[in-house]
């Protein structure tokens, strides 16, 4: 069953990425699907998205949710299985969080260039 979920996650990510790239436009924003995680019962799939700049998160999430039925319809045409999971969009803040940590580490290194050995 694990292999089936992994394969389905991969297919959803691949096809949804293509659909979003071709069919949607986000002004001054770069939208990337970072991960798709399907529930154990295959009822829904959470689609994690990364948005640059992060100030556009709410706008992009709102637009994706407004176009949910449209995107699901295209996805249904591409992935032919009996029960395609419903899709839910969620902002992935992992990249943003990692960038903040990296910035803090760089600042600390500038303050203390020669750490004690």
Q: What is the pLDDT of residues 15-38, one digit of tens each?
A: 999 999 898 888 888 899 999 999
Domains and CATH numbers, the chain: 2-111 (3.30.300.20)
| Angle, helix 2-23 to helix 68-78, in steps of 10 degrees | 120
- Blockwise average pLDDT, block size 10, the chain, 117 residues: 85 93 88 92 92 88 93 90 90 78 82 66
Q: What is the 3-state secondary structure (H, E, C) of 59-100?
A: HHHHHHHHCHHHHHHHHHHHCCCCCCCEEEEEECCHHHHHHH
CA distances in angstroms from 59 to 3, 26, 51, 114, listed in the order given: 34, 9, 10, 44
Mean pLDDT rounded to a whole number for the chain: 87
Q: In the prediction, which pLDDT does 59 show?
A: 92
């Amino acid at each position: 069953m694990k292999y089936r979920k992994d394969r389905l996650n991969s297919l959803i990510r691949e096809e949804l990425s293509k659909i979003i790239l071709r069919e949607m436009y986000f002004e001054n924003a770069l939208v990337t699907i970072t991960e798709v995680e399907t529930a154990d019962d295959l009822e829904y799939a959470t689609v994690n998205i990364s948005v640059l700049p992060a100030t556009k998160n709410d706008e992009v999430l709102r637009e994706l949710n407004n176009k949910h039925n449209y995107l699901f319809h295209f996805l249904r045409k591409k992935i032919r299985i009996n029960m395609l999971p419903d899709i839910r969009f969620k902002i992935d803040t992992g990249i943003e969080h990692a960038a903040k940590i990296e910035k803090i580490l760089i600042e600390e290194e500038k303050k203390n260039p020669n750490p004690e050995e």
